[in-house]
Amino acid sequence: MLELNGEPFGLMHQSYGGDTLNTATYLARLSKASEVEITYITAIGNDPFSRKMCAFWQADGIDTRYVLTDPNRLAGLYVIQLDEHGERTFLNWRHHSAARYLLQHPDYPQVLAHLKTVDFIYLSGISLAILPPQDRLTLLAQLKALAGQNVKIIFDSNYRPVLWESREVAQACYQALLPDIHIALVTEEDEKALWQDDDLVQIVARLQHFQLPHLIVKSGKNGADYFPLNDLPMHISAKPVANVIDTTAAGDAFNAGFIAGYLQHKPIEQCCRQGNQVAGVVIQHQGAIVARDATAHLVSQCN
């Protein structure tokens, strides 16, 4: 999506972002191209903004073969508004975006064929929320089939109420997907909002019902908690960040750091520490996708 960051009717900075794209970007920056291939799947328009965005993704090392072009639609747009603590709120324009109609694109069967060849699929609650209801059900069925073919699914619940028809619809979709999840990367705040859980204990008790091989609950500046299927839980604290500028992509950056470690077969505790580290760097800069030189030093630390 296109990103505008600034004051209404004032100076605004143009960029791009989107939760899964943010994770793909930081994962590509952290990974060795010879060892990990990150393919991003979406639909964009045939306009200058869409083409420029795609060029930026390629420059970060993302494979864009399956970024489909929709000649009749445009990329989505969002505006970030920040408070004095760097906490953000979003305004979105995506109901008519090309990404919403990805599954209806005539080239989508090629995407589905490719998905059968990958090791991991990463998606979020937003990936589901933006789709038309029938397309959403179709994707859930496809993901279940792929999981049955040993494709491992990584899921960030990333609940955004404004994108869903109702809380009940979101709950039903998540419950349909969770039995097929290999790694759940959820956020404490989102889980409480979606399920009305009172605390971490309730969140974990509910999610452990799905026998998730790996459950990680992110809690922002308080770090993360890991709940393995057949072992004792552990808390992984985050180092304090004194200069928080923008928390827009904090959870997405954590996911990238975590997945980068997981793909290198690092211990889960180390993956979480790596996630905290990447998020801690990103939130010291403005926007979802920070400049490449801001994350360059992480490459040697994460490999």
Strands 120-124 and 88-93: unpaired
**86 — pLDDT class (breaks 50, 70, 90):** low
Q: What tokens does 148 get?
A: 């049955």
Percent of the chain with pLDDT over 70: 99
What's the pTM value of the predicted model, to 2 decimals? 0.95
Domain regions of the chain by residue span: 2-302
Q: Are the C-beta atoms of residues 278 and 30 closer than 8 Å to each other? A: yes
Identify the active-site residue in 70, 180, 225, 252.
Answer: 252
Per-residue tokens: 18: 């989107």
Q: What is the pLDDT of residues 12-23, one digit of tens each?
A: 889 999 999 999
- pLDDT for 109: 99
Would the pLDDT of 8 be above 80? yes
Contacts of 22 (CB under 8 A, 6+ apart): 249, 252, 253, 256, 288, 289
pLDDT digits (tens, 9 = 90+) for 98-150: 999 999 999 999 999 999 999 999 999 999 999 999 999 999 999 999 999 99
pLDDT at residue 10, rounded to an integer: 86
| Per-residue confidence (pLDDT) for residue 124, from 0 to 100 | 99
| 33 CB burial (10 A radius; 0-12, 13-18, 19+) | exposed
Give the pLDDT confidence of 217-256 residue by residue, as tens digits. Answer: 999 999 999 999 889 999 999 999 999 998 989 999 999 9
Averaged pLDDT for residues 162-170: 97
Q: How confident is the model at residue 11 (pLDDT cuts 50, 70, 90)?
A: confident
**HEC profile of the chain:** CEEEEECCCCCEEEEECCHHHHHHHHHHHHCCCCCCCCECCEEECCCHHHHHHHHHHHHCCCECCCEEECCCCECCEEEEEECCCCCEEEEEECCCECHHHHHHCCCHHHHHHHHCCCCEEEEEHHHHHCCCHHHHHHHHHHHHHHHHCCCEEEEECCCCHHHCCCHHHHHHHHHHHHHHEEEEEEEHHHHHHHHCCCCHHHHHHHHHHHCCCEEEEECHHHCEEEEECCCCCEEECCCCCCCCCCCCCHHHHHHHHHHHHHHCCCCHHHHHHHHHHHHHHHCCCCCCCCCHHHHHHHHHHCC
Q: Does the annotation mark 252 as catalytic?
A: yes
Q: Which residues contact 55 (CB under 8 A, 6 or more apart)?
A: none
Mean pLDDT of 67-84: 90
pLDDT at 204 over 70: yes
pLDDT at 303: 86
In the predicted model, is pLDDT for residue 286 greater than 70?
Answer: yes
Architecture of domain 2-302: 3-Layer(aba) Sandwich (3.40)
Tokens of 199: 């605390």
**Mean pLDDT taken over the chain:** 95
